[in-house]
Amino acid sequence: MKKIAFIIFAVTAALFCFAGCVGEATPIFEYSYTSKEIVTPFWENEQGGYTVVYNEVVTPIRYGNSETATGYLAYEPHRIISVRDYTLDKEYGEGDYTVEGNVITVKADGSMPFIADEWLDNKNIPDEFSDFVVEGGTKYKDFGGTNFGRHVISEGSLTRTNHLCVTYAYKTDETALGFAVPTHEPAKFARFVGKLARGEDVRILVFGDSIFTGASASSVVGFEPMLPAFFDLIKTELAARYYGGDESRITVVNQSVGGEKSEWGAEQVAGGAFDASGFDLVMIGFGMNDGSLDVSADVFVANLKKIVEGIRESSPDADYLVVGSFLPNPKSVFSGCHADYVAPAAELCASLDGERSGCAYISMFEMTETLLKNKQKNNPKDGRYQYIDISSNYTNHPNDFTVRLYAGSILTKIVGF
C-alpha cells in the first residue's frame, strides 16, 4: 500500500513539474482551445497557482526602420505555452521570437508578422493590406502626438493578419489583475436560467449598436479563425450546458444597427419598430456612439431606462442585461465620455432589478482600459499603437480576444463558471 501511494505521489509530482525543473513545481501546460477555453474568462483559468491566458492578441509594431518589431502582453508570463498566427493553425517556435518581461520581439526580416507604425498612421500601407482601409484616415485628438493627426481604420487584412495569438501562464498570486471582474448574479437571472434548467425553449433579444451586431468577430468579416459573434458563442455554450448541444432550443433575435445611439434605441422601442414580446433574456448594448458624441450621462441613462421599461411592457418576465461598451481608441476622435456612463448605468440597472424581472449591468470599459494600460506601460516609444491588440478596426470594434471577453463576462453574470 505504501509503495502504491508513493507511485501515485511521484506521478502527480511529475505532472506538475517540467522535465528537469528544480525548486518550485510548475504545472505542465498544454495548448488547448476548445469551446471551453474560448468562452471562459482568462481570470477563471487558474491551474495550480497560475492563470492561463488563451490566444491573447499581440501585435508586434515596427518603429521606423528598426530591425525588430515589439509586442506587449497584458501580463508578464511565467511560461509561454504557444505563439500562433492569426489563423491559429501556424505555430511559431521559440527561435522565431524572444520574450523578456511582457515584451515579445520578432525580427523585421523574419517569418513572423508585424505592423509598421506608419501603417497605423495611415501612411505607406502596402497594397496587400489596403483592403477595408478608410481612405484619408480620421483626424486624431492626439494632443501633439507624432502621428501627424491621422490613424487608419481597417476591418481587413492590415489589422487581422499581422497579429500573433499568444497563450501563456502567469503567477496568479504575484500579478494583480487590475480590474474588478464581473460576478455571477443568479438571483437576477433566476427566471431565464430556470427555464433553461427545466429544458424549456428560450428566446433572447439582442439590441444595440455595431458591437451588438457582431462587429467585429472574425467570422462576421470573413477571416480565419472565423470566431462567431459573442451572442452566438453564448448560445452555443448555453445549448451545451442545458440542451445537450441542441442550439435550436434557443432563438436569438438581433435588432441591433451599427452606428446608432441610445436615443435611437429608445425611439425604436417607443414606436414599436419590432415585436418585443415573448423574450426570456434581453441584452442591451449601447454607449460606444453616445460616448463618442459626448452625449451626457443623464441623457444616456434616461434612454437606457426607456429601452428597458419599454421592452418590459411586452416581455414583463424577461431578465435584462445592460452591457456597457469597451474602450474606444483613447487617441481617436471616437474617444469621449464613455467612462462617465459606468456608475450611472450600474445604478440604473440596480434600481430596475425586481422580483419578477431581473436587471444587471456589465461594464466592459474598465476591463479593456486596464488591459490596454498594462500593454502600454513598458513601451518606451509610443504606446498608442497597442490599441490594435484589443480592437479589430483600431477604432471602436472588438477583435476576437475582446469578443471572447464579452461572451465570457456575460456568461459569468448569467450562469457562472
Cell representation of residue 266: 429608445
What is the model's pLDDT at position 2?
Answer: 33
- Cα 114 to the chain's mean position, in Å? 21
pLDDT at 142: 58
The DSSP H or E segment spanning 412 is helix 400-414
Domains and CATH numbers, the chain: 1-30 (no CATH), 36-174 (no CATH), 186-414 (3.40.50.1110)
Structure confidence at residue 5 as a pLDDT band (50, 70, 90):
very low
Torsions phi, psi of 66, nearest 5?
-60, 150
For residues 97 and 105, is the Cβ–Cβ distance under 8 A? yes
Poorest-confidence range of 35-39, 118-122, 255-259, 368-372?
118-122
Helices (H), 108-189: 117-120, 157-160
**Which three cell numbers mark 414?**
448569467
Contact status, residue 156 vs residue 63, Cβ threshold 8 Å: no
| Interatomic CA distance for residues 91 and 109, integer angstroms | 18
Q: Give the pLDDT confidence score for residue 146 in this predicted structure.
A: 54
pLDDT at 116 over 70: yes
Least confident among 117-126, 131-140, 211-220, 367-376:
131-140
pLDDT, tens only, 308-365 = 999 999 999 999 999 999 999 998 888 999 999 999 999 999 999 999 999 999 999 9
Rg over CA atoms, the chain: 22
In terms of pLDDT, which residue wins out, 245 or 140? Answer: 245
Q: Return the H-helix or E-strand segment holding 359.
A: strand 359-363
User: Does residue 15 register a pLDDT over 50?
Assistant: no
Q: Could you give phi then psi for residue 54, rounded to 5 degrees? A: -95, 125
Cis peptide before 216 (omega within 30 of 0): yes
- Provide the whole-model pTM: 0.93
The mean pLDDT of 196-200, rounded to a whole number, is 98
